[in-house]
Amino acid sequence: MTTPFESTSPVWDKLTEERDATAAELESDGWEVMTLTTGDVTPRPARESDVGKTFIGLNVLVPGNEFRELEPFVEEAAFDSYEVYKSNAGDTMLLLIVMKAADEKRAVCFPAYYDVSQASYMISEAEAAEEMETIVRPLSDDRRVVFSHHDVSLLLPERVDD
């Protein structure tokens, strides 16, 4: 599974290195951590005709074997907090998302990305709703793990006020 810019940019390598370093740091603090290999990421809603018909957030594709491990890992845990590290590579928003279940000391770390110029509907809907979701799914798209985000500013581009 490759990203649109994975083979042409060291930025993706840096992001996956950060994912692995963050996971190692959490593990050294006693957390059980799962890292995911992100494939395609689609912002939703993607176009005006989707507004009100789909969830607001990111649809993240991961390999089927990782998804099969993810489902039981998150099943009994309450992922009630998260950290997001973000940067830009041109028009691409790069995210390292760390979902945490503090009581269970479990974390899921995965990179995500989206083209800001292609995500205007997601961005405006997320800002209006003041919440968004990240759906993690396998290629078969027959099952999903949903993570909620109540501080959307962590996942969106910085606002530039005139």
Tens-digit pLDDT profile for residues 9-54: 788 889 999 999 999 999 999 999 999 999 999 999 866 776 777 7
CB 65, CB 36: distance < 8 Å: no
Closest of 73, 51, 67, 53 to residue 125, by C-alpha: 51
Instruction: Please give the C-alpha separations between residue 46 and each of 15, 43, 59, 105, 116, in angstroms, as whole numbers.
Output: 24, 6, 11, 34, 11
Tens-digit pLDDT profile for residues 108-133: 999 999 999 999 999 999 999 999 99
Angle at 141 between CA 41 and CA 32, to 5 degrees: 70
- For residue 82, give both structure tokens: 């998260």
Which string of DSSP letters, residue by residue, matches 62-105?
Answer: --HHHHHHHHHHHHT----EEEEEEEEETTEEEEEEEEEETTTT
Please state the domain extents for the chain.
Answer: 10-152
